[in-house]
Amino acid sequence: MDDDDKKLYVGSEIGKLRRVLLHRPGLELSRLTIDNKDELLFDDILWVEEAQKEHDAFADLLRDNGVEVVYFRNCLAHILKEDEIRKNLLEEALALEALDHQLKDALAHAFYDMPPADLSEVLIAGLTALEAKELVGNIKSLCLLTSERTDFLIKPLPNILFQRDPFSFVKDGVIISVMRFEARRKEPLYAKYIFNHHPYFSGLKIIYGEETANVHPYFIEGGDILVLSDEVVAIGISQRTTAGAIQVVGRKLAKELGIKKLLAVDIPKMRVYMHLDTVFTMVDRNCFVIYPGIRGSVRLWEIAYEEDGSVVDITESTDLVGTMKRNLMLDTIAFVETGGGDPIAAAREQWNDGTNTFAIAPGVVVTYRRNATTNQELRAHGIKVYEIKGAELGRGRGGPRCMSMPLLRN
């Protein structure tokens, strides 16, 4: 298949972006309160209407640069048109909510005739006890009888804004994540149904996340996965991704996609770092952004594979520069330090996703405007920077890379 005919292929972090998957903020973010934000993995409450404006501007910027924008919500609504798919997805999704049979069956029945777009909204935004009663009436459900009006019987998914995490496209395959926290467990489930049943994703290879063994505690999240080249992938050992899962995924990447090297990068297991892409991203063929707080303490393991997925060698290193040069066949390499290397500026801008740059072409990135020092450093290294507002979006602790999942680069 010629490159022009491909609809799904990601062979690098920096190739010209052609298609991307996004999720526009919606009702699910309006569900956040001061009481539930921690459980739902947010540090603050967003002004949703402003976040939507910021996100729309982000999507428009991508379109202006020749990128086709695909929305997750629309993909979910599309597959819910099919009765059998709807039935099976609802059965799995409702099973994750620990509802009694009376309520589960009543909701499934009510959802069966709901328009696909409306059902997609419920599955993403959640359902309160009051909303459930309006749908099913007074039934003999202990879950319903013991719930307060505002209790969520179907929990909302505000983190679905960050499309980088529930899955990761690598070449013509996808890794479906096993999420570390309960609040995000349904996101990969919906993705699995979309990738298996939406015609847009026909022919996609599911590399991980579909087998019965790909579950807790083998956690892996897309924010920890960087596709450095057609043959080299880096994965962070982080708060959200375990070493054991990396070893399982590495074998599959080698056997099914021809990946020859996997770089397992150990980072501190803290929320402030969260994923590899919050401390390290690629912005050009030989240029990376790095949070200076981890630069001198990085440990990584270079894992080489045979074509059948067997491990040839595992070598530990603390030389990030040398490892990158060797594996990407580079003579020189440049590191742009978050905050220009100043400890205070670096800490502030890393927390505001200054390191979470999103390359849309070699040497062309999208960043949050608020990270002025890092953006200045990027430009000083010859990188073209498109800035977007992120005063509200950034409250979710995710930058432009977190919000986007490339589907096609060339």
CA dist 297 and 307 (Å) reads 32
Q: Considering only CA atoms, give the Rg of the chain.
A: 21
CA dist 393 and 373 (Å) reads 19
Q: Which residues contact 54 (CB under 8 A, 6 or more apart)?
A: 388, 389, 390, 391, 392, 393
CA dist 339 and 410 (Å) reads 30
The answer to whether the beta carbons of residues 281 and 401 sit under 8 Å apart is yes
Cis, peptide link before residue 400, omega less than 30° from 0: no
Annotated active-site residue in 75, 143, 287, 402 = 402
CA dist 231 and 12 (Å) reads 9
Q: Strand, coil or helix: what is 257?
A: helix
Q: Strand, coil or helix: what is 306?
A: coil
Q: Is 402 a catalytic residue?
A: yes
Closest Cα to residue 381, out of 364, 358, 360? 364
Helical (H) or strand (E) element with 376: helix 372-380
Q: How deeply is 347 buried, as exposed, middle or buried, from its count of CB atoms within 10 A (0-12, 13-18, 19+)? A: middle
CA dist 195 and 21 (Å) reads 12
Closest Cα to residue 23, out of 178, 210, 166? 166
What pairing do the DSSP bridges indicate for beta strands 280-284 and 287-290? antiparallel
Q: Strand, coil or helix: what is 234?
A: strand
- The owner of tokens 């910027």 is 61
Q: Provide the residue type at 38 as one letter.
A: D
Q: Where do the H-state alpha helices sit in 65-115? A: 72-79, 83-95, 101-112
Closest Cα to residue 254, out of 233, 225, 229? 233
User: Which residues are known to be catalytic?
Assistant: 402
